[in-house]
Structure 1
Amino acid sequence: MSIILYSYYRSSASFRVRIALNIKRIDYQIRPIHLLRNGGEQHREDYLRLNPQGLVPTLIDGDTMLTQSSAIIEYLEEMYPSPALLPESPVDRAYMRSLAQLIACDIHPLNNLRVLQYLKDTLNYDDTRHAWYCHWVQNGLSALELLLEQHDCNGLYCLGDRPGMADVFLIPQVYNALRFNCEMHEFPLISRIYENCMQQSAFQNAAPENQPDAED
């Protein structure tokens, strides 16, 4: 039985997990959860029984049900260790995780759909949502760019010439930044890594436009 992934095509957290599954060449089935249609399918009672937070992604692997993209990707790394998303060196593994967490913990929570909807619907900040989004993306990516510089990032990816966990988290964030027309010229290393990753089928096939629930 293949893995089931409850996913929304534009969700960057779902995008991360799709990339990880593709890199590891794991068969999986998408169960679309539309975050906007009918008030948000993530609020349906049957889905809330799976994921009480009403978020995506949710992953089902046999009798195992997991939420939170970071935990899901760590699980995949442990259960399906090859190809590896983490390097062998403990120091490099910690560095790779630090880049991933910078995105997952410091950038993404300020810019996810729930926050943007709250700014629009509750605080009436519709005109300033774009400035909010780009400010926090650029703030986080500025730090990440410096970390890459300090680590002498000369390979194709965040660490060397094989995509890893940091790339899995970075690419959806950059994809969304470009979709929101955030200025990226100050991030040459990040832009180079993004271009290298998006030439790989694991990343291409995980992209929002290539999902079964994609919309124009």
Structure 2
Amino acid sequence: MELFAYYRSTSSYRVRIALALKGLDALVVPINLLSGEHRQPAYRAINPQGRVPALRTDEGSVLIQSPAIIEYLEECYPAVPLLSQSLVTRAHERAVAALVACDIHPLHNVSVLNQLRQLGQDEEQVAQWIGHWITQGLAAIEQLIGDSDYCFGSEPGLADVYLIPQLYAAERFNVSLAAYPRIARVAALAEQHPAFIKAHPANQPDTPT
């Protein structure tokens, strides 16, 4: 498999975590978002949307959008599941994943932030926008996750796959995590877990030195 990704992209980060948790190896093909490589014809031929991540499977199919990619990995490689056996818990796990992927992350995507700037918002206002949506989302997640080790159990699962990259983004944007002890517990465990360490942006081939 080949994963077309950018080291600091949280959606790429969550796919890397899913791959690592399942013990799957994918060749990471860095796509430099800062240089505009994702907008060039060569990459558009791979992903017409011009965004990361994209996953080329062993059979040659190209998958886009991190939720679809992660769902494919879960269905194709079920030996290390990301979802609970309980249907109710599965729904909770998917809810946290959707909260991150649909309600938090899109609102601080670089394209949205650039549009805010084009509409005349200064950097302080952009930062307030980012902080508002991340804080609102994490406050909800803090109430939704349980008191076990990870979000919904003793082992990391789908909710953790989405949460940890969002925390990385929160730190990048100087959003305090002090008000979220449950989230802090999950983050501390993930910092010591080999799969999360392997997937971290600092450990990617295109990380600036």
- State if a TM-score over 0.5 links the two structures: yes
Mapping of residues 64-143 of structure 1, within 5 Å: 64-143=61-140
Q: Which moved more, 1:7-16 or 1:196-205?
A: 196-205
Over residues 176-213 of structure 1, what are the superposed CA-to-partner deviations in whole Å (9 max), with x where a residue is unaligned?
10122111111110111111112101001111111000
Contact 1:22 1:203 in 2 (8 A): yes
Which structure 1 segments of 5+ residues have no match? none
Q: Which moved more, 1:121-130 or 1:59-68?
A: 121-130
Instruction: Report the equivalent of 1:63.
Output: 60
Mapping of residues 43-58 of structure 1, within 5 Å: 43-58=39-54
How much identity, in percent, do the aligned residues show? 47
Once the two structures are TM-superposed, the CA of residue 123 in structure 1 deviates from its matched residue by 3.1
**RMSD of aligned C-alpha atoms?**
1.1
Look up the SS of the partner of 2:176 in the other structure.
coil
Over residues 30-58 of structure 1, what are the superposed CA-to-partner deviations in whole Å (9 max), with x where a residue is unaligned?
11001111xx1110101112111111000
Q: 1:189 aligns with which of 173, 182, 200?
A: 182
The reply to whether residue 175 of structure 1 matches residue 172 of structure 2 is no
Instruction: Report the equivalent of 1:205.
Output: 198
Look up the SS of the partner of 1:30 in the other structure.
strand
Look up the equivalent residue of 1:82 and give its one-letter code.
A
Once the two structures are TM-superposed, the CA of residue 70 in structure 1 deviates from its matched residue by 0.4
Instruction: Report the equivalent of 1:162.
Output: 155
Look up the equivalent residue of 1:59 and give its one-letter code.
L
